[in-house]
Amino acid sequence: MNHYLMQNLKESTSRFLLIAAFVGLVTGLMACQNSTGDQSPRERISINDGWRFMKYESAEDADSLIYDVRPEIGEYDDSQDADTKPTEAQEVESSDKVLKPWIMPSGNDFIKDPAKRYERPDGNPGSDFPFVQADFDDSSWEAVTLPHDWAIEGPFFEGPDAEVTGGMGRLPSPGVAWYRKDLDIPASDAGKSIFLDIDGAMSYSMVWLNGNLVGGWPFGYASYRLDLTPYVEPGGENQLAIRLDNPPESSRWYPGGGLYRNVWLTKTEPVHVAQWGTYITTPEVSEKSATIDLEVTIDNDSDSDQTAVAETEVYELDEEGNRKGGAVAHFDPFETQVSANGSAKVSGSLVLENPKLWGPAPTQTPNMYEAVTTIKVNGEIVDQYETEFGIRTIEMDPERGVVVNGEHIHLKGVNLHHDLGALGAAFNTRAAERQLEVMQEMGVNAIRTAHNPPAPEQLELADRMGLLVIDESFDVWERKKTPLDFHLIFPDWHEQDLRALVRRDKNHPSVILWSTGNEVGEQYTGQDGADLAMKLRKIMKDEDPTRLTTASMNYAKPPMEFPDPVEVISLNYQGEGIRNDGEYSHLRDQGITTPPLYPSFKETYPDRVIVSSENAAAVSSRGTYLFPVVDAVSSPISPGKGGNPETGYVSAYELYTVDFGSSADKVFRSIDQHPYVAGGFVWSGWDYIGEPTPYYSSRSSYFGTVDLAGFKKDRFYIYQARWRPDHAMAHIFPHWNWPGREGEVTPVHVATSGDEAELFLNGESLGRKQKGEFEYRLRWDDVTYEPGELKVVAYKDGEKWAEDVVETTGKASVLNATADRNEIAADGKDLSFITVKVVDEEGRTVPVADNEITFSIEGPGEIVATDNGDPTNFTPFPSKTRKAFNGLALAIVRGIPGETGTITVTAEGEGVEGTTVEITTVD
């Protein structure tokens, strides 16, 4: 028996029981105030405002303060299939002029073996560079507010030889840039520990304070902390300067650029809870009681030993995250000696009676608690730290899959990239919340963070909304997918990045599984790849032994070595088969090819859960239908068969896929035929910038169940019909505006949660059809087009269930605007998403309308961006003028900080009557 399988069996029983690790991330206030109450000396201050930004025009113009030497970019085609075999790294000799030796110590707290930690060299590189000097005049630099994505405003690069091509979204994300900000550190902060906390910086960030190189972190998706204390000058202005370097050909999708997540200044007394320094687990949970274990790490930054006492109270939180009344439980005080410039861990346990459990929506309630840990020295409060968590049990059952609090939860998941459409990579809580709301409307109960650590707020949303999460770390290990991707820093930084991810996220109840990687090249390297997989698994398990780990596989299969150390079998496309049969047979020599592998993995690893971590990879352009329509339930896209390379559009009949993919229908059938599969994650929930397969001349992907603007594709309703069987719905596609197709066959498909339906054209029945076994849509493929009304009546168990109507419309006459929220906060962060429909005189959306729409605004707000969901559209996102795409356009509006009142947004269109919508901003 393989040695990894033996080790795996020793580590886990035949039914993996995961006891929840529960939730928490200190969530600071956005204003300059104590984050934990008036009695706490701890301050967590947002420093998102007041930055100056400058990006060099070209790499040749950039300064020489580089992290490390990089290899030259050879021939590389970013339009290659996503499942192309990764290749070996190219060796490059380093230089004594690079800053890497000064940056490496920044990760020392996340290197377990003290002997492997880095010692900072003498010297202060960059200290004489003008941008880090306090007297440098940056008034000509752009004033920006964080989170900031330097590339999202464009312009787009067009054409085959563009500077940035389709893979990275044709936006100017590569480059070197600087951010500068003055920090006001009052004299009263003397003696305090002061930290810079960066939630995400893309990428190779390096930080100077008052001309001193503090440190940095190369991985663009990592959250990290730097200790500013040795360099702070209390009682005056302190100059902070941050250099970022985003390489070309460094990503398979749009990475964004800049300080694209929140940045904080944290101030504490020398004795304080460490960064991400609490860990809460619940080893025993029932409806009557829950045992809560707490571990606290206390740092002592002073030069003398200290005796610290930790006291922790537990509070119940309401749906908005506010405390409900007084403490519901207390831990006994923990006392410990903390050595000078050292740290110590304390732990304790309590039993909470009648706990309110956290569980996924809609069948369970995501109840949350908060542990407030107070640190005292000599009887005085020196720190207070908040940890949000949830109480739940997770069981990984190889026959049923995921069991939460005793209930089997079939994973109805989606993969989500980190960009927020027209807002780019700059994180915005409301935009992320909107994405998750739309996904939950479709029936989603789980997300996979493809393929990187998410923003901290993304997990806070998942906790509050009751979503399960696979928290993923890397897209590559040592072998590369693009010439300058993470493989360049993986050997030096994988331990630090993995430990940082787990420490940051391990208290979130939404996180049920850690992923060490996605489709990594080490699948191809036999035992060497398996050894590396085991090494990464051990690092994550060392940080959090309560959850299982995984790595998603699109190539490795039994009896290869790579799957052996993978605790949960995560399959990308292999479950339903890749390029193996039917419409895909002719592709067998063009990439990974495999028959359906659920049975093979089940036979080889009977005691492991199997998850379809990535499936479908279907593609479509919302509202665009091409003829003829394939008879099969799933077909690869090709010219004249679901795709038009001249226009860059893919048919929305939702039958067409990339070469290695499958339609939703085929995926549903495969999972239903193998009920032991825990469920799956669609590629992808939302269109995203970059990777515009199959047409790399475009700007954004075609994979989403909704388009980049958030407008639902027909595929959305196919999933909703399957994932929300109790939701009465029926949805007809295509639209019914087909001048010139009179008398031609125009297939009609229906998605419904009913079990049968009858279709009518102009009142005449075209037949009543019942779903057969493994059938997930109803098809009337021989309908002859004539203008008028299509109506479907769906039935369930013989009773009328739902209906839908599609009509041939008149010409475009009027614009109709609606806001998703007519009241938003006047904080400069909250957003309202305004949908504009092009309608006829009867108010029906004209499904082929492409009128040019101009937006304007009055009142205390601004239009941040516009979009229409068209992946071929290169109008810059900030433009106030945009064509409708198949009848729809979007405007995103935010309020001006501190200014309340009424915002009026006007949309005026070419050849149509305009419209207005009002939004109120409030304190």
Query: Which CATH code is given to the segment(s) 814-921?
Result: 2.60.40.10
User: For the ranges 14-23, 401-410, 443-452, 467-476, which has the lowest average pLDDT?
Assistant: 14-23
Give the pLDDT of residue 92.
63
DSSP assignment string, 492-553? HHHHHHHHHHHHHHTT-TTEEEEEEEES-GGGGSHHHHHHHHHHHHHHHHHH-TTSEEEEEE
Write the DSSP symbol of residue 638. E
Query: Which CATH code is given to the segment(s) 744-807?
Result: 2.60.40.10
Q: Give the Cβ contact number of residue 495 at 10 Å.
A: 18
Q: From the candidates 561, 614, 691, 803, give the one annotated as an active-site residue.
A: 614
Give the pLDDT of residue 93.
63
**Does the annotation count 519 as an active-site position?**
yes
Q: Indicate whether 64 pLDDT > 60.
A: yes
Q: How confident is the model at residue 1 (pLDDT cuts 50, 70, 90)?
A: very low
% residues pLDDT > 90 (the chain): 91
Distance, CA of 622 to CA of 649 (rounded, Å): 9
The 10s digit of each residue's pLDDT in 142-163 is: 999 999 999 999 999 999 889 9
Amino acid at 297: T
Q: Classify residue 898 as left (phi > 0), alpha (psi -120 to 50) or beta.
A: left
Distance, CA of 673 to CA of 671 (rounded, Å): 5
Residue 694: asked if its preceding bond is cis (omega within 30°), the reply is yes
Average pLDDT of every residue of the chain: 94
Distance, CA of 778 to CA of 765 (rounded, Å): 15
Domains 271-390 and 744-807 belong to one CATH topology: yes
CA count, 13 A, side-chain hemisphere, 145: 9
User: For the ranges 94-98, 569-573, 627-631, which has the lowest average pLDDT?
Assistant: 94-98
Strand order in the sheet with 342-353: 21-22, 271-285, 289-300, 342-353
* Cβ(790)–Cβ(736) below 8 Å: yes
Nearest to 912 by CA among 841, 822, 813, 821: 813
Q: How confident is the model at residue 882 (pLDDT cuts 50, 70, 90)?
A: very high
The 10s digit of each residue's pLDDT in 172-226 is: 999 999 999 999 999 999 999 999 999 999 999 999 999 999 999 999 999 999 9
Q: Classify residue 379 as left (phi > 0), alpha (psi -120 to 50) or beta.
A: left
Strand order in the sheet with 263-268: 43-46, 263-268, 193-198, 224-227
* Cβ(186)–Cβ(47) below 8 Å: no
Is CATH 3.20.20.80 the classification given to domain 410-616+660-689+704-722? yes
The 10s digit of each residue's pLDDT in 363-379 is: 999 999 999 999 999 99
Give the pLDDT of residue 76.
74
Q: How confident is the model at residue 11 (pLDDT cuts 50, 70, 90)?
A: very low
β-strand pairing of 446-449 with 411-416: parallel
Q: Indicate whether 674 pLDDT > 60.
A: yes
Encoding tokens for residue 909? 């269109």
Q: Indicate whether 676 pLDDT > 50.
A: yes
The 10s digit of each residue's pLDDT in 292-345 is: 999 999 999 999 999 999 999 999 999 999 999 999 999 999 999 999 999 999
H or E element at residue 834:
strand 831-839
Q: Give the Cβ contact number of residue 407 at 10 Å.
A: 12
Distance, CA of 233 to CA of 859 (rounded, Å): 42
Count each helix (H run) and each strand (E run) in the chain, helices first. 9, 52
Distance, CA of 632 to CA of 642 (rounded, Å): 12
Give the pLDDT of residue 95.
63
> Which residues fall within 8 angstroms of residue 386, CB to CB, at 6 or more apart?
24, 26, 27, 35, 36, 370, 371, 372, 373
Q: Classify residue 466 as left (phi > 0), alpha (psi -120 to 50) or beta.
A: left
Give the pLDDT of residue 519.
97
Distance, CA of 889 to CA of 762 (rounded, Å): 30
Q: Indicate whether 785 pLDDT > 70.
A: yes
Q: How confident is the model at residue 96 (pLDDT cuts 50, 70, 90)?
A: low
Distance, CA of 314 to CA of 531 (rounded, Å): 42
Q: Indicate whether 230 pLDDT > 50.
A: yes
Q: How confident is the model at residue 479 (pLDDT cuts 50, 70, 90)?
A: very high
In angstroms, the Cα distances linking 442 to 354, 445, 515, 689 are 33, 9, 25, 22
Q: Give the Cβ contact number of residue 902 at 10 Å.
A: 12
Give the pLDDT of residue 25.
33
Average pLDDT over residues 752-777: 97
* Cβ(291)–Cβ(284) below 8 Å: yes
Give the pLDDT of residue 78.
75
Residue ranges per structural domain of the chain: 39-78+91-267, 271-390, 410-616+660-689+704-722, 744-807, 814-921
Q: How confident is the model at residue 94 (pLDDT cuts 50, 70, 90)?
A: low
pTM here? 0.94
Residue 628: asked if its preceding bond is cis (omega within 30°), the reply is yes
The 10s digit of each residue's pLDDT in 645-654 is: 999 999 999 9
Is CATH 2.10.109.10 the classification given to domain 271-390? no
Query: Which CATH code is given to the segment(s) 39-78+91-267?
Result: 2.60.120.260
Q: From the candidates 386, 472, 478, 519, give the one annotated as an active-site residue.
A: 519
